[in-house]
């Protein structure tokens, strides 16, 4: 029974701890996971192997009791054999999962001792071999979602049957005790199904449910400024050969969480099931991030010489012999020589993301206000440029993170306002410099730190593929489970 409990827990743990979920408001998912029969087969195999390993080193507590005038103790119980069941996890349409096994068996050896109670206690002892074989079991697990957006689990049904129980008693009076062999075997055989099923029911309804209640369904990102929310927003769908879970997939400003004024777009249909796990990161994930970033003033940055590579810093000087801002925009160089320019960049509207087959683009519009730091220690305002830029991105998956990199860019720039008179200079040259030397490297640095997918440390991806689909990035992958 202990073994079955462990088996079940292992299965539940493998299947479900691979998902971290959460949910306020939106019922349309921004993120979706598809777990295929391949993943369940893998989970089943891992669970059975883990069980066999655990069982062989498990210690079984001594048992004692009394019957009539006898007191008995069974001690030193140890496993002498284990036959792994032929087991299977399958998807039950509309409900959840079923786990069935046939031909499980276990054999044990133990020491026994019996005392009579009375005037003159008499004590007998010996050893016993016991084996149970041909055990079949079946259970269904009903999966749903609780009000906190975490998955819930309960035991739908359980059945168990025992093939054969065999007991051989050795030691004092063994010829006599073995007379009762058949009776003892029948008693054990009758007791097993109820004990297995109550163990299984408890394992699912209490232990597994408890684990799910403690699932981490949100995570903080980017210096804890943003919260990524993976709560379940809908009941999982069970449609062999796969099950699907639907998640919020929303990013909010951690200190001021606010659902954005738009909803997730439909996630693409994609029938494939040849990998174990499919994840769809909807356009809503980056869109909600950019919304939170914009309304909370995160998309502002002040560029100073120290933000640039050492050999590029001269660009922000107003006086130089080569290429620097003072020469590119002569009005600045003439009015404020020997100064350093600071660029205050500010996104002026929520940046847009377009995800369409094979193509990922982000566009920004913003202002760049220029200020001079003069030798006299004052900081006069110079001018404001307005900019719109489009970035083409490539995306990859590594270490369970989606990483983005800017592969191309285009921009338009204009002068919005000037305090240094009409601007004759080549503002495109200047903008190009800022983009290539500062903005793109900085964004790539962030993009390379990656976006976390909801899998635990025990599970890693292998044989992974990423596709840019309509309104979503899809990651298709097999899994590798390495218990710590
Ligand atoms: C640019 O400014 C820095 C800092 O003031 C200064 O050390 C450097 O000499 C300047 N370079 C030129 C070429 O003026
Ligand atoms: C940045 O742009 C936003 C939106 O246009 C504006 O409200 C905000 O005042 C700007 N901030 C700065 C520092 O220019
Ligand atoms: C990202 O793109 C830049 C060009 O924009 C390239 O130089 C760099 O090697 C790329 N980085 C990665 C990790 O692909
Ligand atoms: C971005 O990608 C689109 C579509 O692939 C292409 O038409 C466009 O020229 C690219 N832009 C840049 C700046 O690379
Ligand atoms: C800059 O602002 C002007 C005036 O609002 C506008 O006409 C122009 O299209 C803008 N340019 C860019 C690149 O945003």
Tell me the mean pLDDT in the region 225-238: 92
Q: Per-residue pLDDT for 273 more than 90?
A: yes
What's the average model confidence in pLDDT over 375-389?
95
pLDDT score, position 14: 42
Q: What are the pLDDT digits (tens) for 159-195?
A: 999 999 999 999 888 888 788 888 888 888 888 888 8
The arithmetic mean of pLDDT across residues 256-272, rounded, is: 93
Position 9 confidence tier, pLDDT thresholds 50, 70, 90: very low
Ligand 5 atom at minimal distance to the Cα of residue 412: 13
Q: Which residue has the higher pLDDT, 277 or 188?
A: 277
pLDDT of residue 362: 95
Q: Please give the distance, rounded to the nearest whole angstrom, from the Cα atom of residue 348 to the centre of ligand 4.
A: 23
**Closest C-alpha among 433, 455, 324 to residue 368:** 433
Residue 470 per-residue DSSP state: T
Is residue 314 in contact with ligand 1, taking CB distance under 6 Å?
yes
Please report the pLDDT score of residue 26 as a whole number: 42
Mean pLDDT of 343-358: 95
Handedness of CA 448, 452, 457, 460 (dihedral sign): negative
Tens of pLDDT along 102-153?
Answer: 998 989 899 989 888 888 888 889 999 999 999 999 999 898 888 888 888 8
Q: Is the CB of 414 under 6 A from ligand 4?
A: no
H helix or E strand, kind and range, residue 448 = helix 440-449
C-alpha to C-alpha distances, 236 to 246, 282, 345, nearest whole angstrom:
7, 17, 44
Q: Tokens standing for 302?
A: 């002040």
Burial classification of residue 107, based on how many CB atoms lie within 10 Å of its CB (0-12 exposed, 13-18 middle, 19 or more buried): middle
Q: Which of 166, 82, 172, 164 shows the shortest CA–CA distance to 127?
A: 172
* Ligand 1, pocket-test mutation among 305, 312, 313, 314, most atoms within 8 A of CB: 314
Q: What is this structure's pTM?
A: 0.85
Alpha carbons 36 and 473: distance in angstroms, whole number: 18
For residue 287, give the H/E element and its range: helix 284-295
Whole-number Å distance, alpha carbon 59 to ligand 5 midpoint, is 76
Q: Please report the pLDDT score of residue 378 as a whole number.
A: 94
Q: pLDDT digits over 305-316, tens only?
A: 999 889 889 999
Pocket mutation for ligand 2, best pick of 348, 350, 385 (most atoms within 8 Å of C-beta)? 348
Distance (Å) from CA 418 to ligand 5 centroid? 14
Answer whether residue 28 shows pLDDT above 80: yes
Predicted confidence (pLDDT) per residue in 239-257, tens digit: 999 999 999 999 999 999 9
pLDDT computed for residue 262 by the predictor: 94
Nearest CA to ligand 2 atom 11: 346
Answer with the residue of higher pLDDT: 50 or 345.
345
**Percentage above 90 pLDDT, the chain:** 58
Mean pLDDT of the chain: 88
Return the H-helix or E-strand segment holding 194: helix 181-202
């Amino acid at each position: 029974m202990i073994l079955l409990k462990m088996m079940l827990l292992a299965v539940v743990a493998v299947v479900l701890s691979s998902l971290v979920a959460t949910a306020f408001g939106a019922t349309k998912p921004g993120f979706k996971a598809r777990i295929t029969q391949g993943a369940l087969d893998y989970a089943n195999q891992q669970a059975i192997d883990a069980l066999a390993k655990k069982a062989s080193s498990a210690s079984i507590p001594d048992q004692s009791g009394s019957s009539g005038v006898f007191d008995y103790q069974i001690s030193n119980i140890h496993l002498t054999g284990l036959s792994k069941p032929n087991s299977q996890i399958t998807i039950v349409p509309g409900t959840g999962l079923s786990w069935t096994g046939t031909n499980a068996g276990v054999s044990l050896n133990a020491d026994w001792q019996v005392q009579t109670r009375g005037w003159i206690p008499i004590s007998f002892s010996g050893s016993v071999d016991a084996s149970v074989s041909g055990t079949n079991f079946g259970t269904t697990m009903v999966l749903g979602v609780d009000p906190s957006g975490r998955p819930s689990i309960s035991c739908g049904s359980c059945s168990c049957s025992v093939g054969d129980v065999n007991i051989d008693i050795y030691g004092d009076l063994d010829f006599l005790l073995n007379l009762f062999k058949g009776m003892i075997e029948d008693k054990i055989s009758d007791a097993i199904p109820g004990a297995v099923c109550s163990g299984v029911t408890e394992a699912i309804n209490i232990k597994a449910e408890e684990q799910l209640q403690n699932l981490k369904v949100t995570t903080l990102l980017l210096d804890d400024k943003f919260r990524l929310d993976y709560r379940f927003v809908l009941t999982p769908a069970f449609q062999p050969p796969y099950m699907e879970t639907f998640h919020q997939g929303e990013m909010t400003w951690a200190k001021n969480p606010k659902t954005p004024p738009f909803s997730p777009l439909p996630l693409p249909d994609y029938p494939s099931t040849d990998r174990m796990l499919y994840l769809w990161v909807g356009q809503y994930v980056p869109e909600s991030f950019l919304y939170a970033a914009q309304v909370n003033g995160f998309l502002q940055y002040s560029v100073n010489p120290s933000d640039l590579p050492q050999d590029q810093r001269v660009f922000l000087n107003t006086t130089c012999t080569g290429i620097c801002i003072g020469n590119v925009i002569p009005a600045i160089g003439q009015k404020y020589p020997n100064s350093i320019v600071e660029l205050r960049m500010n996104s002026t509207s929520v940046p847009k993301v377009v995800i369409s087959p094979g193509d990922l683009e982000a566009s920004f519009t913003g202002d760049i206000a220029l200020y001079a730091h003069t030798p006299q220690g004052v900081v006069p305002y110079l001018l404001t440029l307005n900019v719109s830029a489009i970035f083409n991105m490539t995306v990859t998956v590594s270490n369970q993170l989606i990483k983005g990199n800017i592969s191309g860019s285009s921009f338009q720039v204009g002068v919005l306002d000037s305090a240094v008179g009409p601007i004759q200079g080549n503002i495109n040259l200047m903008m190009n410099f800022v983009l290539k030397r500062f903005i793109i490297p900085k964004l790539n640095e962030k993009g390379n730190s990656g976006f976390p997918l909801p899998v635990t440390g025990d599970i890693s991806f292998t044989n992974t593929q990423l596709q840019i689909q309509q309104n979503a990035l899809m990651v298709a992958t097999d899994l590798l489970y390495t218990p710590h």
